[in-house]
Amino acid sequence: MNTINDTNYNFPNQKSVYKGKVREVYNINDDVLVMIATDRLSAFDVIMPRQIPFKGQILNQIASKMLDATADIVPNWILGIPDENVAVGHMCDPFKVEMVIRGYMSGHAAREYKLGKRLLCGVAMPDGMIENDKFPEPIITPSTKAANGEHDEDISREEILSQGIVTEEDYLVLEDYTRKLFKRGTEIAKAQGLILVDTKYEFGKTKEGKIVVIDEIHTPDSSRYFYIEGYKERQEKEEPQKQLSKEFVRQWLIENGFQGLEGQEIPELTDEKLIEISDRYIELYEQITGETFVKADVSNVASRIETNVLSFLNK
């Protein structure tokens, strides 16, 4: 299977390369970033030993479509999409917090709630809720942006300000942009028969001091979706909701004895399993965007990316 695992380019005026769990970011002259979405799969903060065909293309194209669909309300870092797996944009100084916003009590919020907690990141959660209930209003529950291999941690607005992580002036902008993006994302999802349950946004500042949204938005790796159809009936019966996210990968790993804990072995990712996961990601793409997924030519993917990026940079 011709997938993208590790890249090793040397673009003109390249200063450095940052390799994250899934994306590889090339710094061009401390001015432009070339972000390549690989086909690596990360779960429980562990990179799986084999890659998922077309995963990088899927995430990059969903993110680019969502950034384009929100550019009229919140500025973003993108300059262009020269390749199916690549986004090029302004180099920014990232804020050291992730803005998590939750419309429903799911995932981490539900786990905390079950422990009896009614405050999450300093924000009150009403009594009498059950898992996957809608909050009266979406709540913002920020987290620290952890270094590689470490877990993000909850942090309150008050702690962010008191620790000087973000100035109050900037934080008000981050909150405003987060609510605007979530509102638009909710509208886009609804048009596709989906509920945007929760998501996270990352922001940075350009050299000119402009706050912009960076990285991906509204992808199945950064967001949780439910299907609208049947949501109410499942809630009334207190049944699990039908989800659209990469949760299916985590569940498969858990069922096979892996949660990223010491001493646990990653279950075998057979060719059949890789194709099955790839097909699910394609289904996610088509459901979220409402468009048919078109597979890129992967006969020589490394060369394809290099040619397209060089052509874009030369312009």
Phi and psi at residue 296, to the nearest 5°: -75, 160
Dmax over CA atoms of the chain, in Å, equals 59
Closest by alpha carbon to 36, among 26, 46, 28?
26
Instruction: Confirm whether 3 is domain-assigned.
Output: no
Range of the domain at 40: 14-93+270-314
Q: Are residues 139 and 203 in the same domain?
A: yes
Separation of alpha carbons 10 and 145, rounded Å: 28
Q: Are residues 225 and 125 in the same domain?
A: yes
Q: What is the CATH number of the domain that holds 116?
A: 3.30.470.20
Q: Are residues 157 and 229 in the same domain?
A: yes
Closest by alpha carbon to 213, among 6, 85, 73?
73
- pLDDT tens digits, 152-187: 789 999 999 999 999 999 999 999 999 999 999 999
Q: What is the CATH number of the domain that holds 42?
A: 3.30.200.20
For position 148, what pLDDT does the model report? 53
Q: Is residue 263 left, alpha or beta, with left meaning phi > 0 and alpha meaning psi from -120 to 50?
A: left
- Give 166's DSSP letter: S
Separation of alpha carbons 134 and 186, rounded Å: 13
Q: Which two tokens stand for residue 72?
A: 């009229």
Q: 237: number of CA atoms within 13 Å, CB side? A: 7
For position 151, what pLDDT does the model report? 62
Q: Are residues 100 and 235 in the same domain?
A: yes
Separation of alpha carbons 181 and 151, rounded Å: 25
Q: Which two tokens stand for residue 201?
A: 């946004």
Q: What is the mean pLDDT of each run of 10 residues along the chain (315 residues)?
A: 92 95 94 96 90 96 97 97 97 95 95 95 96 98 73 90 97 98 97 96 96 92 93 97 85 91 93 93 93 96 96 94
Q: Are residues 68 and 45 in the same domain?
A: yes
Instruction: Confirm whether 2 is domain-assigned.
Output: no
Separation of alpha carbons 66 and 82, rounded Å: 16
For position 250, what pLDDT does the model report? 86
Q: Are 74 and 178 in contact (CB under 8 A)?
A: no
Task: Count the domains in the chain.
Answer: 2
Separation of alpha carbons 66 and 219, rounded Å: 8
Q: Which two tokens stand for residue 135?
A: 């909050």
Q: Are 41 and 52 in contact (CB under 8 A)?
A: yes
Radius of gyration of the chain (CA): 20
Separation of alpha carbons 114 and 95, rounded Å: 31
Phi and psi at residue 250, to the nearest 5°: -60, -45
